Amino acid sequence: MQGNVTFDPLAFAEPVLKPEIAEILDLENGEFLDVATFISRRRYDRLVAERVSIRENLADRPRFGCALCATPVYLVASREKRFFFRHCREDGSCPSITRSALGRDEIRALKYEGQRESLAHRTIKERVIRSLASDPSNSEILSEKQWRSTRDPASRRQPDVQALTVFGRVAFEAQLSTTFLDVVAGRRSFYRDEGALLVWVMAGFDPDYRRMTTDDLLFSNNSNILVIDEETTALSEGSGTFYLRSHYRVPELFAGVIRDRWESKIIAFRDLTTSFESQTAWAFDYAGQSEKLFAKEKEEVQRRDNDLRERICAFWMLRNQHTPDPLSHEETWRSLTRELSDCGVTPPTNDRYDRAVTGLMNGVLSAREKRPIGWDFKHLIEVAHRICDGYPEHALAMGFALRLYGCDELIAAQDKSGKWAKRARSIRDGIRQGDQRYLPDQDTLPFLTFAFPEVGANVERFLSSRLARSDL
């Protein structure tokens, strides 16, 4: 192709195909921008105008820098009217030329260093220093000075700012979008070993536009993000107390599920809760509050379950099984089983409303009350025999209930002929040998476990150990 190409000024601009500088750094706000996207999203005529302004400000107030070396860059058009960025000084030192030989971590480290040079980073660093200096309880405020490990002089870090505060020596780091989790984690352990605190601060925070790198800080700091902005800095300078802003999540329970909403407040630095061990500094105790909510929710669930359990048993005790139940009874039972469903328990069903659980309720309740319930017997031992005759699938539950409710002596006293003792032994052997007749009923098990938790737990334990054995 020869000569200049004319280009439709209203069309979108096109980047060169393989730009040497693939990413640029917005020196104003510290954001990285993909060059191809940056160019192709702009209309040709507007980009040409922007190119002029980028060029004019290059010496005094550069707008963009190379993502890898932070050297200011300007926009150039090829003869084909395709655009790319070029360093303002081309001395061959920029690693972008040999970019392909760099590892991911090296590129990341270069970008991080570059970002530290951005105006955004310098601005927040200055605010941290101004805020610290305004409060006489802080001293020895140092900027970009090495912090040598007291244990291992070869190990060192260079925090943005460090100072002696009410919490001892504290390192302040301004969070940048390239501050990845490994950086966060590495620094955290360094300062923990030093018995010092590392506090991450941001220039601003919008809960709706969080980055992954912000989440790394958020979730490792008890869901609090600390911000030092112009307003808090002015407040610190006006009051002589170091203030900052904390954004934090407030947990709330809705129908057993935790939902968070965001709040923020301005708080004096000395009023933060800090921990060297977890390297945290926060205004609102998110973890503590959620735990409290969960405990409260658990208590409420237990109270609700206990109440329903008592009403189910009370209903059964008052039921007259000799005469047909009035319709109102059936309605009461239906409403109880609806409540059971709401508690997450599948109620067993049968053609007649109570048939599905008659044997189970009569048997276990009789053991609990140590007298026949539901059937017209005189002695508890008759109930035990009845269960084994008519409801062998509940024999195991009945056996556990007799033991758990302390009926052994009573049953022995009522078993004058020794018939029960013999039968119990033979059922035990049958169960051990896998007699299918005595296999506990799975359909009523959730109901049993809800109505009589200890009895149900024993049956469940039996079933799972049997399953484990059959797996072998």
Question: Which stretches of the chain bind Zn ion, using CB under 5 A?
Answer: 66, 68-69, 94, 96
**Shortest distance, CB of residue 43 to Zn ion, whole angstroms?**
27
**Shortest distance, CB of residue 88 to Zn ion, whole angstroms?**
10
Backbone angles phi, psi at 123, to 5 degrees: -65, -45
By C-beta, is 68 or 401 nearer to Zn ion? 68
By C-beta, is 96 or 358 nearer to Zn ion? 96
**Shortest distance, CB of residue 97 to Zn ion, whole angstroms?**
8
- How buried is residue 51: exposed, middle or buried, by Cβ count under 10 Å (0-12/13-18/19+)? middle
**Shortest distance, CB of residue 68 to Zn ion, whole angstroms?**
5
| Stretch (H or E) spanning 273 | strand 273-275
By C-beta, is 110 or 383 nearer to Zn ion? 110
Number of helical H runs and strand E runs in the chain: 16, 17
Phi/psi-derived region of residue 205, left when phi > 0, alpha when psi is between -120 and 50, beta in every other case: beta
* Cα 209–chain centre separation: 18
By C-beta, is 66 or 459 nearer to Zn ion? 66
171 touches 159 (CB < 8 A): yes
25 touches 65 (CB < 8 A): yes
**Shortest distance, CB of residue 36 to Zn ion, whole angstroms?**
17
Q: 174 forms bridges with which residues in the sheet?
A: 201
Question: How many other C-beta atoms are found inside a 10 Å radius of the C-beta of residue 416?
Answer: 9
By C-beta, is 113 or 271 nearer to Zn ion? 113
Long-range own/partner contacts, residues 375-383 (CB < 8 A, 24 or more apart): 375/321, 376/322, 379/414, 380/407, 380/410, 380/411, 380/414, 381/411, 381/414, 381/415, 381/420
**Shortest distance, CB of residue 195 to Zn ion, whole angstroms?**
40
**Shortest distance, CB of residue 50 to Zn ion, whole angstroms?**
20
By C-beta, is 68 or 407 nearer to Zn ion? 68
Closest CA to 134 of 292, 278, 269: 269
Distance CA(188)–CA(159), nearest Å, equals 12
**Shortest distance, CB of residue 93 to Zn ion, whole angstroms?**
8
By C-beta, is 94 or 202 nearer to Zn ion? 94
The strand order across the sheet containing 139-143 reads 139-143, 161-165, 168-174, 197-201
Distance CA(279)–CA(199), nearest Å, equals 8
**Shortest distance, CB of residue 67 to Zn ion, whole angstroms?**
7
CA 413-416-422 angle, 5° bins: 100
- Contact residues for 408 (Cβ-Cβ < 8 A; gap 6+): 402
Tokens read off for 105: 């971590």
By C-beta, is 54 or 340 nearer to Zn ion? 54
By C-beta, is 68 or 235 nearer to Zn ion? 68
